């Protein structure tokens, strides 16, 4: 399990990026989001935990579980 924050989500394209705790981005597809059906841009800034999968294209987040928002 890894922790991060949704940095951006492109709802029309169905993918986004999570900023990992070390600052590096990790790709995710909307089908990896485990709650509430298809996410929209309102998930930006949400803290999440997720499983990290190494693929031939680089790291990808799967089984993304929202934890809530932090900060202002």
Q: Is the Cα dihedral 65, 55, 41, 38 positive or negative?
A: negative
For the CA atoms of 58, 15, 6, 40, the dihedral, rounded to the nearest 10 degrees, stands at -170
Q: What CATH number belongs to 2-69?
A: 2.40.50.140
pLDDT by residue (tens digit) across 3-60?
Answer: 999 999 998 999 999 999 899 999 999 999 888 667 777 889 999 999 999 999 989 9
pLDDT given at position 24? 92
As to burial, measured by CB atoms within 10 angstroms (0-12 exposed, 13-18 middle, 19+ buried), residue 65 is: middle
Find the distance separating the first CA and the last CA of the chain, reported in whole Å.
26
Spell out the domain ranges in the chain.
Answer: 2-69
pLDDT given at position 72? 54
């Amino acid at each position: 399990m890894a922790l991060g924050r949704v940095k951006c989500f492109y709802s029309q394209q169905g993918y986004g990026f999570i900023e990992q705790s070390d600052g590096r981005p990790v790709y995710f597809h909307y089908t990896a989001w485990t709650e509430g059906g298809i996410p929209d841009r309102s998930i930006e800034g949400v803290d999440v935990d997720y499983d990290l999968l190494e693929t031939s294209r680089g790291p990808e987040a799967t089984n993304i579980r929202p934890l809530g928002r932090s900060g202002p």
